[in-house]
Structures are given as C-alpha cells and as structure tokens.
Amino acid sequence: MYPQQIHEYLIRFFKENNCQIVKEHDHYITVQLTIDMDKKIMNRPYYWQYIENTDGVPSPAQITLITDQNKLTEDIKGEVLHFGSPRLNQIFQATNDLGSFVHMYERVAENSNGQPILTPWLGVNYKVSYFSDQTKEMLYSLGINLMTGEMKHSFQEEIRELDLDANMPKNAFDLMYIIKPLRGLERLDAAVESLIQQDDHTWADEAKSRWQKDRQVLEHFYEAMDNKPECYEMEKKAMDEQYQTKIKLDIVNGGLFYIT
C-alpha cells in the first residue's frame, strides 16, 4: 500500500509541474523533467551553471523512478524510491518550494439537468515520521467535504483521475462552503492523530529494548573505573539521544478542490 501511495503522489506531482510521463507502469515511472524541475531535484548546479555561462543547449534529465522493486517482473534500471529516501525528500521539498496549497476546480460538461454543481473539499497529504535509532515514515491522504463534513481516506487517489484546472469553469456553479477550511483542517488533523494513536507502537518498545542492551554494554565497559572519564558521559548522552522515541507530523501539501 505504501509504495502505491508514493506512486500516486509522484504521478500527481510531475503532472502538476508539467513534466511529461514518458512511461507509466504500476511499479515505476519514467519522467522527462523540465529545466526547472531538473534544477530542483537532480543536484546538478555545476552543469546548469556551465550551460548558462556558455549559452549551451540545455538537456534536462529523463529519470526512471521505481516505487515497488519487489513486484517488478522485468529488469528495469532506475532509482528506487521509498519513504526516507533522499530523492523523495527532495521532491517533498520541491513541493513546498513550489507552493504547498492549491485551489482547483473540476472541468465538467453541461448536463441535461442544468448547470453542474461543484462541492468544496479540503484535501491534505500528511507525512508521519517515527524516530528512534531507526526511522519509519508513512503518508496519509485525507479529504473532508466542507458542506457535509464527510471524510475520505486516500483522497488523492479519489481525485487523481479528475480533470482539474486552476480556473473556475464558466458552465458550473460552485457551492460556498459551510465548514470553514481552517475548521476542516482541524478535523483532518484530529483524524490523522487518531490514526497515529491506533497504529502499532511496538517500535517504541523495541527501541527501548535496544537502548537497554547497549546501555548495559556501555556500563560493563566502564564498570571497573571508579572515576569515569568525560567520554563516558558523552557516550551515554549520545546513546540516550539516539534511542529517544519521537513522532513528527508534517503537512506535505494540500488544497481546496471543487468537484462534483
């Protein structure tokens, strides 16, 4: 499920930023980057400096990103992405740099019943990070109907196939929201916090167990010393910080979507 979430996110990200999807497979995509996107995620500052200084012909990269290596049945050369991988973090950062909030409308055709009605939804993508000596990250995509309060999980997948545009269609009528977006965001925050509480947190107990074992090794190493050296305190402090358990919740991006 998590590789699929990454896959859906990448498709949406590149399409919204005008990068051509050259090949789309269930478990990998090949993308032709634009010049701007190459500069943001490919770490080639010297190449672009050379091109710009010499008036050279730019050649933005074409990349293959593998989202589920375990399910590939063919030999594909590309970069494997997973939560926590440097390239995916760069894409998350690029999302923030390019603007993390969008305002989109569904393009709809007129129907026999009259003017199509668009309903406001607030959609938010969250990243939840579990930290100790190991790191685990999860992505949640939630949406809330700002008329009724109905909430949907996997909201990004719900709107993926819709034809969205930044401009309000002239042939449609958009409803004014009843639930204010800020209040809707509070409800989504509460929902994702509930998901975190319901999650399996044995990782924290396992981290504590590893900390205790390493602490015993440290104490055994210095037990013969009556006056422990300064490095003992430094190692103990570093170990405590390494195994400290933390949960961090970030909003990756979001938007107000008027859809049928």
- Mean pLDDT, the chain, integer: 89
Contact 64, 76 (CB under 8 A): yes
Total domains, the chain: 2
Other Cβ atoms within 10 Å of 64 Cβ, number: 15
Same domain (yes/no): 83, 109 = no
The answer to whether residues 120 and 91 belong to one domain is no
Global pTM reads 0.67
Domain termination residue (choose one: 77, 99, 121): 99
Read off the pLDDT of residues 44-95 as tens digits, 9 standing for 90 and up: 999 999 999 999 999 999 999 999 988 888 888 999 998 778 898 888 888 7
Q: What angle do CA 180, 101, 2 make, to 5 degrees?
A: 105
Place of tokens 């074409």: 62
Based on the domain organization, do 122 and 148 belong to the same domain? yes
Q: Contact at 8 Å (CB) between 226 and 232?
A: no
Query: CA 18: distance to chain centroid?
Result: 19
Q: What are phi and psi of 110, to 5 degrees?
A: -65, 145
Q: What is the DSSP string of 169-206?
A: PTT-EEPPPSS-HHHHHHHHHHHHHHHHHHS--HHHHH
47, 34 Cβ separation under 8 angstroms = no
What is the tens place of the pLDDT at every residue in 206-248?
A: 999 999 999 999 989 988 888 888 898 899 899 999 999 999 9
CA distance 71 to 65: 14
Query: Of the candidates 57, 74, 99, which is a domain's last residue?
Result: 99
DSSP 48: H
Share of the chain above pLDDT 90, in %: 56
CA 174, CA 83: separation in Å to the nearest integer? 37
Average pLDDT of the segment spanning 130-144: 91
In terms of residue numbers, what domain contains 218?
101-260
CA 104 to mean position of chain CA atoms? 19
Claim to verify: residue 127 and residue 43 sit in the same structural domain: no
Provide the percentage of residues in the chain whose pLDDT is more than 70.
97
* pLDDT at residue 170, rounded to an integer: 85
- The tally of CA atoms less than 13 A away on the side-chain side of residue 49 is 4
Tokens of 234: 């430094």
Residues 154 and 54 in one domain: no
From 99, 134, 168, the end of a domain falls on: 99
pLDDT > 60? residue 1? no
What is the per-residue pLDDT for 79?
92
On whether both 185 and 242 belong to a single domain, the answer is: yes
What CA–CA distance (Å, rounded) separates 56 from 60? Answer: 12
